[in-house]
Structures are given as C-alpha cells and as structure tokens.
C-alpha cells in the first residue's frame, strides 16, 4: 500500500518532504551529470523545485528558471533568482514555453501510473518546439535491494532506511535523515522503472528517442517527436 508522509521539525509537503531539511541542505551535485548538456542561457522549468536547491544552481549558471511546487512553504524559501509557481505538476498549464523542462528528485517513480503520465504531459505542454526534457529516475536495482538499516553518511547527512517492504515492483520505506542536529523522516512508495518503461512512457506522450546520461544511466533526455505548437494553439494538447 502506498503512503507518503514525513516527520521532524517544521512543515512537511504532500509527498512527505521536510521543508526545514531541504531548506538547509546544500546543493549536493544532483545536476552535475546533465548541467553541461543544457543550452547556454536556457529558459528552464523545474517540476518539484522545493526550496530551490537545484533551481538556484541553474540560475547561477545563467539560466532563467521557473520552479513549480505544490508546497507554499517550500516556495517561500526560493532565492530571488528563481520565479516560483504554486501549483501541482499534473494541473499546471502556464502560457509560457521553456527550452528545458526538468523533472528531478525521482518524482517519476511515483506509484500511480496516471500521475507518472501526467508529469510527462506537463513537460510536453510546456516545451518550445525542439525543447528538451530531462528526468531522473531511481536506480531500479537499488529499489529492489535496499534493506532496513544504515545507508550512508555523506556531506554531513546520515541516511538510514526503516520499514522496508516490497510488493512486486513497488518499494515502500521510510528514509531517515539526521543532519544539522535534527532528525527528519520521509515515508514513500516508489515504483522501480527500467529504462524501457520510461522510454515507453515518453513515447506515449509524444517524445522521440531517449538518450540516457550519467554513470548509471538514470537521467533521461528526450525531445518531442514533432512540433506540437499548432496543437497547443488549438488547445488540443492538454
Ligand atoms: C524531494 S523534494 C526535492 C526538491 C528539489 N528538487 C531539491 O532537490 O531540493 C520534492 C519536491 O517536489 C514537490 N512535489 C512532489 N510532487 C509534486 C506534485 N505532484 N506537484 C507539485 N510539486 C510536487 C514536493 O512538494 C517537494 O517540494
């Protein structure tokens, strides 16, 4: 059974992230594997931007960044270099189009297949013709093997797993973060997704050939297979 919840000091988002934890967490290199691929001075839409850790990095690299999140508390911490939009990814429909849409933080591993499709549709309806979509998935072998117990300690954060259970390709667990003298938890369910599953999902929503990036091939890059601007102008591409 899927569940999203969190605990610890401060507010938690709908998906169980702790605002105070993400607000204090520095950039930990999450975009390093794709940063150099983005065209210079792009307009970028980050889906699920949180407090702007990654968005701030993109802005500092010279991109114009709009961050979308359904947590007002997260958005209240965005730096002035990032424009925030308070909305759910599945419902947002901005009049602007972007050179790049980014779906980081393993949001694509949501257990609800309809929501996964809606995330990809959101990217499709916000891209300029020839724009590029990047998404990051969880390592499926990690989802299949992670066990309850200590996971790692790096960059001042201690990570542990609690309550790990599996049902088919679904993993439910609680991640425990200890940092800054505090303890936060995030409980979630994630669907393991092999490259082929993501490629099929992207193709269903009109994207062409997928290129995989990064040491473990967890970043997908895709462009719309044809120019959808005319459909969008007719209102037929929602
Ligand atoms: C794990 S946090 C990561 C935030 C940021 N990308 C980072 O790395 O610091 C995930 C964020 O996505 C947001 N989020 C998750 N699902 C969402 C949805 N369906 N619509 C809008 N925001 C969502 C959460 O509110 C949270 O702020």
CA angle (143 as vertex; 139, 149 as ends), nearest 5: 120
Q: Which residues are CB-contacts of 168 (< 8 A; sequence separation ≥ 6)?
A: none
Residue among 8, 11, 12, 15 to mutate when testing ligand 1 (max atoms within 8 A of CB): 15
Local confidence pLDDT in tens for the 238 residues of the chain? 457 999 999 999 999 999 999 999 999 999 999 999 999 999 999 999 999 999 999 999 999 999 999 999 999 999 999 999 999 999 999 999 999 999 999 999 999 999 999 999 999 999 999 999 999 999 999 999 999 999 999 999 999 999 999 999 999 999 999 999 999 999 999 999 999 999 999 999 999 999 999 999 999 999 998 765 545 544 443 3
The answer to whether the pTM exceeds 0.85 is yes
Domain ranges for the chain: 40-139+192-234, 140-191
Residue ID of nearest Cα to ligand 1 atom 23: 48
CB 180 within 8 A of CB 24: yes
**CATH number, span 40-139+192-234:** 3.40.50.150
Pairing of strands 182-191, 149-154: unpaired
């Amino acid at each position: 059974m899927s569940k999203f919840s969190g605990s610890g000091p401060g507010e938690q988002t709908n998906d169980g992230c702790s605002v105070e934890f993400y607000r204090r967490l520095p950039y930990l290199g999450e975009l390093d594997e794709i940063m150099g691929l983005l065209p210079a001075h792009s307009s970028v839409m980050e889906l699920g931007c949180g407090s702007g850790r990654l968005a701030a990095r993109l802005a500092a690299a010279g991109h114009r960044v709009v961050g979308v999140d359904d947590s007002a508390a997260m958005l209240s911490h965005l730096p002035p270099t990032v424009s925030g939009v308070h909305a759910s990814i599945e419902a947002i429909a901005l009049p602007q189009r972007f050179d790049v849409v980014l779906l980081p933080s393993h949001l694509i591993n949501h257990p609800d297949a309809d929501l996964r499709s809606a995330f990809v549709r959101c990217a499709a309806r916000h891209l300029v013709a020839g724009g590029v979509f990047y998404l990051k998935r969880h390592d499926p072998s990690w989802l299949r093997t992670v066990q309850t117990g200590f996971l790692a300690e790096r960059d001042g954060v201690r990570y542990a797993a609690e309550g790990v259970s599996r049902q088919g390709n679904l993993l439910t667990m609680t991640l425990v973060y200890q940092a800054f003298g505090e303890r936060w938890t995030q409980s979630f369910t994630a669907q393991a997704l092999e490259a082929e599953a993501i490629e099929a999902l992207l193709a269903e929503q009109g994207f062409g050939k997928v290129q995989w990036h990064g040491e473990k091939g967890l970043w997908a890059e895709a462009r719309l297979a044809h120019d959808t601007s005319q459909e969008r102008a007719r209102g037929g591409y929602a």
